Structure 1
């Protein structure tokens, strides 16, 4: 491949010499540029890239030394090779001066063509090599800059990806770890420390310390995992519990994968830990809720069965009405309790639900503050209120437009006192025997809730006083879910 030609500047005020230089240097195959004075040479230098300057020392107006000094002052030409040609014998001082001005060599006259050609060729090749090295260096710098930019971009993307991974791990309550199977060295990320409730500044990750944080019943899971990897297993997943230093027990699921060498020997094990405590607790709550729903459904059916079996009536229509009324009362309180997730019910809501079927205008007066009842208490009082409303609508104050009913309640020392006072209705006679409603009311309030129910059959209207403890005291009454079954038993006893 041919080399790119370089420019050689020939400076002399005598045309004959310039022609001689051209003839001598023609065989080099380079571009020869002619200048007949120092000023003309400067003009050429400003317009053309010159590799070598061949300049006569003795020229009018601007000699070779002065021209060299001016050339060296320009930043572009501080390294340009200059060869001085002198027709006179120069002294050592002049020669030293020439080197100080930037000359690289001296050629005396008469000029030996081979010598001049060889000198110029050397500096022309040096210039070409220098330019090639500069271009190569520039290309290298460009590639380095491009590669650096690519690496910076890749690093930024990797950092961004790692930040997203860390955020995802933190949001998902995850942690990652790495275990060098050969050296035993461990590496935990921030999420792993957070799950175990420890910090890198105070916790040394090693098998003994990790095992100490495992739940005693789940330590065998770690040993089993190690045994499986030693047998050739490449991945392993298990659920386990950890006990944090503060005593908090957390459920986790761990997934691990082994890296092996060419012989199949395990080199390292990497994995991810996910905190599934909330999921486990939700599953436990769901299981308990399912059991509770099943239990309540069975007990509610048992109570409904008792109501159907024990209700007495002279006519089918009256029987159906009584059964439907009691079951509807039970259904209404169940709806109220369901809306509160079986946390309890307000007394005023129970009364409002029982009032709903009646259009009584201003016949009923209510007075009392908000009282929150436990589920069992709410169910008992709902059935009791139903019996009172039903009897009053059939035989008492609510059976006439002139009748009046006042319901008041108050709480003192965890004891709820509810007063039911009728007036203005039909003349009241003390009953010779208690009906099913009255007996079931007494049984449920007194036996089931540990309270008291007092009836005063006044001529002007019934006066009933219910006293119900708001705090369950006995073992029988505090067992959750037993209310319906107990109520069923009380109803059966009341019917006897």
Structure 2
């Protein structure tokens, strides 16, 4: 059975152009007049019927792209073969991406008129920008984590005497960072990343209790507020160091020991209070403290913009963290 030949009449061409989302244009290179089909006028938000010059369309091109597009269109007359240029236009405060395509060289002019098409490629450009943003963010996060891991390795090497001790200490610190980053999720509307403070504290402390953070041995009662990605990293290191010390010397080292983590928030600061009960009698450390203690002070004062205070009560240490509220959200 013979197949029907394609009929490339005017109607079929119009259907094909409409299906492809193509807008047609023509440009009189001598008079600078532009003519477009209905889709082209709608794309540029130009009233149909009024004389349109290239400069009229240029006024709608994004200022950062305008000179580049003007130069490119002027240069097309010297280009042999097909050309393509992508640029942004601004319509009612909305940015659209346009791809202009045609054939250069004056020999391709028909009675002094050049022809080509416009394509709305906004969706593709937005997807490309999203991929670039994601790649940049991943690169930034990986570099930050590598820098943190390098610093923790140096600290652990100085505060331990054997390879086994160093491995245990470093693994614990890196695991705390991992739990913090697992909890941080993107906020809607590209507003960054955040975790709830209570969730973050509970997840970080849950490994120190066989039955999890809500069995009664460890109690968490902090304000409902978000913690940004950077602050989550610093807070994870601080809480891990406090919990490790408690497991070695404080309340978490005794079966009867308990830990309460409470908090309050003000206009400028967030206060977190770490209170231990029921453990062995504690005494303030002699000297300036170890590398872990210095890491805590550095994290609180530097990354969290706050201060840390220790009350070495015989019944159990009380640690008060004062954190800058704006830093906590970053």
In structure 1, the residue matched to 2:259 is: 405
- The alignment yields a C-alpha RMSD, in angstroms, of 3.3
Q: Tell me if structure 1 keeps the 8 A contact 2:197–2:222.
A: no
C-alpha distance in structure 2 between counterparts of 1:235 and 1:336, whole Å: 51
Equivalent of 2:166, from 319, 325, 335?
A: 319
Classify the secondary structure of the residue corresponding to 1:356.
Answer: helix
Q: How does 1:402-481 map to 2 (within 5 A)?
A: 402-433=256-287, 434-472=289-327
1:240 aligns with 2:87: yes
| Structure 2: gaps spanning 5 or more residues | 1-6
Shift of the 376–259 alpha-carbon distance from structure 1 to 2, 3 Å rule, reads closer
Give deviations 1:302-335, integer Å, cap 9, x for gaps.
2212211222124433322111101111122222
Query: C-alpha deviations, 1:44-102, integer Å up to 9, x for none?
Result: xxxxxxxxxxxxxxxxxxxxxxxxxxxxxxxxxxxxxxxxxxxxxxxxxxxxxxxxxxx
Match of 1:28 in 2: none
Residue aligning to 1:224: 75
Separation in 2 of the partners of 1:370 and 1:161?
Answer: 61
Matched, 1:382 2:233: no
Show the counterpart of 2:48. Answer: 200
Structure 1 residues 325 and 265 mapped into 2: Cα distance closer, same or farther (>3 Å)? closer
Residue number among 254, 263, 269 corresponding to 2:100 in the alignment: 254
Native 8 Å contact 1:329 1:386 kept in 2: yes
Asked if 1:166 is matched to 2:18, the reply is yes
Structure 2 residue corresponding to 1:308, chosen from 141, 148, 153: 153
CA distance in 2: counterparts of 1:471 and 1:331, whole angstroms: 23
1:46 aligned partner: none
Name which one, 1 or 2, has greater alpha-carbon Rg.
1
Distance 1:326 1:183 in 2: 71
State the shift of 1:398 in Å. Answer: 1.3
Deviations 1:389-437 (A, max 9, x none): 1111221111122111111122221421111111111111111132222
Q: 1:406 and 1:183, CA in 2 relative to 1: closer, same or farther beyond 3 A?
A: closer
CA spacing shift, 1:384–1:265, aligned 2, 3 Å: closer
For the residue of structure 2 that corresponds to 1:417, the secondary structure is: strand
Residue 489 of structure 1 is matched in structure 2 by none
TM-score by length of 1: 0.55
1:220 to 1:247, Cα distance in 2 relative to 1, 3 A: farther
- Alignment correspondent of 1:291: 136
- Secondary structure of the structure 2 residue equivalent to 1:471: helix
Which protein, 1 or 2, shows the higher relative CO under an 8 Å CA cutoff with sep ≥ 6?
2
How far, CA to CA, are the matches of 1:176 and 1:403 in structure 2? 78
Structure 2 CA distance for aligned equivalents of residues 432 and 179 of structure 1: 84
More helix by share: 1
Per the alignment, do residues 220 and 184 of structure 1 end up closer, same or farther by CA in structure 2, a change over 3 Å counting? closer
Distance 1:395 1:209, change over 3 A: same
Output the TM-score relative to the length of structure 2.
0.80
Q: Which residue of 1 aligns with 2:219?
A: 365
Write the distance in 1 (CA, Å) between the matches of 2:277 and 2:75: 79
Distance 2:104 2:142 in 1: 51
1:131 counterpart residue number: none
Contact 2:282–2:314 (CA<8 Å) still a contact in 1?
Answer: yes
Count how many residue pairs are aligned between Structure 1 and Structure 2.
Answer: 309
* Cα distance in 2 for residues equivalent to 1:448 and 1:460: 31
Q: Which has the higher strand share?
A: 2
Q: What residue number does 1:76 align with?
A: none
CA contact (8 A) 1:418 1:465 kept: yes
Secondary structure of the 1:213 match is coil
